[in-house]
Structure 1
């Protein structure tokens, strides 16, 4: 396979993994099967949809490729049948989630670059694509979104986007830039998970006296 085909396979793996992790969140909230399928698709495809709406880019990815709805909804429903075994696959899904984060980020950056947008918008587009699907999942499940916690998640997306956009701006070889940004972003995310790295927290308590 050529690099573009490999990247597309990674994207499909990422949306399946995102849909399956969303299905587990749906199960914790005791949603019905329709809710499981919807939450899986919203989580996997929501970041790209929000990006396209904000950038005025149409059609949306799942409108252009309806098979993505079947893939993500089907993956979420399949999770119901293997849910009892998922705890044994926790590390695998954390790894796939990290892969998804960097892959989605680079896709978002690439689309904004193709539209000729400023570099700050390119990086923001990458972060929206990488993180907003998880925000939608957490909001629908009444959780504090992972994006707003101290854990290194959005930071990893921003670093990945900066490396990719910077390499493109310097006109370095495209696939080397893409591979380098992905590997550094993936390594940062996995190291953060391994060692518990996080951003500083803002803690404010108002005294009555």
Structure 2
């Protein structure tokens, strides 16, 4: 129940975030709704296609698609106010990243795949929606250029799988991972923790 509520909160926030990014690229209302929906539901879709898990989540639950379209439309109308709450979006995005990761792990765990694939499926669910958003908006994906993000999803997925392997029930494991993942993500944003960024100079200046 907790994860489902967090999932709904996350897809709403991600849809709004995608719509705001689309506005910065000069998209029309259809484009905003498309980008918002892809941002919110893209990660789960990529995961399900890769794992052969059908029907896709938004096919079996079409209300999710209407929720994201509605959230993107609201973002388009209230963009000026929403931009002032950027920190709120960062916070909700951090919650959504971990919630998506746990849900992705749970889906993969129902299939006959190894633990490493379960962890990878969780990370894909957490980060691929944002990657698709950035590709549609013609910019380098956020996950590849800023604070720790994908690595946090991988770490959260690994912790979740490890806790369950140690006999921790799904509910307590989810709470532990949500708490730890959220704290690490917010610290990464606050202190700009990131992996080494490579520049043209690192390639020897070839050109």
Which residue of 126, 137, 147 maps to 1:130?
126
Question: Within 5 A, what are the aligned runs for 1:169-184?
Answer: 169-184=165-180
Residue 68 (structure 2) aligned to one of 69, 72, 79 = 72
Tell whether 2:40 aligns with 1:39: no
Q: Is this contact kept in 2: 1:192–1:198, CA < 8 A?
A: yes
Query: Is the alpha carbon distance of 1:196 and 1:61 closer, same or farther for their aligned partners in structure 2, counting shifts above 3 Å?
Result: same
In structure 1, what is the equivalent of residue 203 of structure 2?
205
Q: Distance in 2 between matches of 1:176 and 1:10?
A: 15
- Tell me the equivalent position of 2:79: 83
TM-score normalised according to structure 1 size: 0.95
Query: In the aligned structure 2, how far is the partner of 1:163 from the partner of 1:134?
Result: 22
Give the number of equivalent residue pairs: 205
C-alpha offsets along residues 114-150 of structure 1, whole Å, 9 cap, x if unaligned? 1131111011000100000000000000110012124
* Counterpart-to-counterpart distance in 2, 1:32 and 1:146: 22
The answer (yes or no) to whether the contact 2:3–2:103 under 8 Å persists in 1 is no
Relative to 1, partners in 2 of residues 1:49 and 1:208: Cα closer, same or farther, differing over 3 Å?
Answer: closer
Deviations along 1:75-98, whole A, 9 cap, x unmatched? 001111111111221111100000
Matched, 1:27 2:1: no
Deviates more, 1:196-205 or 1:118-127: 196-205
Alpha-carbon separation, structure 2, partners of 1:50 and 1:124: 12
Deviates more, 1:80-89 or 1:154-163: 80-89
Instruction: Give the Å deviation of 1:10.
Output: 0.9
Alignment deviations for residues 43-93 of structure 1 (CA, whole Å, 9 cap, x no partner): 100000000000000000000000111000110011111111112211111
8 Å CA contact 1:150–1:200 kept in 2: the answer is no
TM-score normalized by structure 2?
Answer: 0.95
- Which one of the candidate residues 56, 80, 91 is aligned to 1:60? 56
